[in-house]
Amino acid sequence: MKRSVKIILISAIALVVALGLAALTIWVIVPAAKYGKAGSLEKGGDTAGAYEAYDRMGDYRDALDAAQKLQDQVVASRSTDGVQFAGYDWLVLEQRDGKTLLLMKEVLKDTRQYNSSLVETDWENCSLRVWLNGSFYQSLPEADRALIVETTLTNGDNAEYSTKA
7-58 residue pLDDT tens: 777 777 777 776 666 665 555 566 677 778 888 887 887 877 888 888 877 7
**3-state secondary structure (DSSP) of residue 73:** helix
When mean pLDDT is compared over 80-89, 105-114, 132-141, the highest value belongs to 132-141
Rounded CA-CA distance 44/49 in Å is 10
Position 75 confidence tier, pLDDT thresholds 50, 70, 90: low
Mean pLDDT of the chain: 78
Burial class (CB in 10 A: 0-12, 13-18, 19+), 141: exposed
Rounded CA-CA distance 117/134 in Å is 18
The DSSP output letter for 140 is: S
**3-state secondary structure (DSSP) of residue 158:** strand
Beta strands in the chain (DSSP E): 82-85, 88-96, 99-104
Q: Answer for the pair 48, 95: CB distance below 8 angstroms, yes or no.
A: yes
Higher pLDDT, 118 or 77: 118
In this prediction the pTM is: 0.47
Rounded CA-CA distance 103/89 in Å is 9
What mean pLDDT do residues 141-152 have? Answer: 86
What mean pLDDT do residues 123-138 have? Answer: 91
